[in-house]
Amino acid sequence: MIKKTYHLQLDLTGTQFQDYNRSSLLFFDIETTGLTARMSYIYLIGAIAWEDNCWKCTQWFAQNTIEEPDILKEFLAYTQDKTLLIHFNGDRFDIPYINEKCETYHLDTTLSSIISRDLLRMIRPLRKMLQLTSLKQKSLESFLHVDRDDEYSGGELIQVYQRYQRTPNETDLKLLLLHNYEDLLGMIAILPILSYQTILNKIYHITSYEVNGDSLDVQARLPVLLPRPFSYIGELYSIHAEKDQMKIMVPGTREPLKYFFADYKNYYYLPEEDMALHKSVAAFVDKDHREPARASTCYSRKKGFYLPQNDKLFTPVFKTDYYNRQLYFSCNEAFLADPDNITNYIHHLLSDL
**65-75 tens-digit pLDDT:** 999 999 999 99
pLDDT at 151 over 90: no
Render pLDDT for 41-66 as a digit per residue (tens, 0 to 9).
999 999 999 999 999 999 999 999 99
Question: What are the helix (H) ranges across 39-169?
Answer: 68-78, 94-104, 119-123, 127-130, 137-143, 156-166
CB atoms < 10 A from the CB of 208, how many? 12
Rounded to whole angstroms, the Cα distance separating 347 from 237 reads 12
DSSP letter assigned to residue 79: T
**85 CB neighbour count, 10 Å cutoff:** 21
pLDDT tens profile 4-20: 999 999 999 889 999 99
Question: What is the predicted pLDDT for the residue at 305?
Answer: 98
The rounded percent of the chain whose pLDDT value lies above 90 is 93
The answer to whether 222 and 241 are in contact (CB under 8 A) is: yes
Q: Is the pLDDT of residue 310 over 90?
A: yes
The predicted structure's pLDDT at residue 199: 97
List of E strands, 156-242: 205-212, 215-221, 230-233, 238-242
Supply the pLDDT for residue 140: 97
106: left (phi over 0), alpha (psi -120 to 50) or beta: left
Residue-averaged pLDDT of the chain: 95
Q: Are strands 115-118 and 84-87 parallel, antiparallel or unpaired?
A: parallel
Residue 349 in contact with residue 237, Cβ under 8 Å?
Answer: yes
- The predicted-structure confidence for 110-133, as pLDDT tens digits, reads as follows 888 899 999 999 999 999 999 999
Q: Is the pLDDT of residue 109 over 90?
A: no
Please tell me the pTM assigned to this model.
Answer: 0.90
**Residue 339 in this model has a pLDDT that exceeds 90:** yes
Is the distance from CB of 61 to CB of 75 less than 8 angstroms?
no
Q: How far apart are the first and last CA of the chain?
A: 47
> For 201-290, where are the alpha helices, taking DSSP H only?
279-282
| CA dist., res. 164 & res. 173, Å (int) | 7
Average pLDDT over residues 203-220: 97
Task: Identify the pLDDT of residue 5.
Answer: 96
So what's the pLDDT on residue 14?
87
**Domains located in the chain, CATH noted:** 2-195 (3.30.420.10), 204-251 (no CATH), 257-350 (no CATH)
pLDDT (0 to 100) of residue 113:
85
Taking the C-alpha atoms of residue 250 and residue 126, their distance in angstroms, rounded to an integer, is 21
Q: Residue 198 above 90 pLDDT?
A: yes
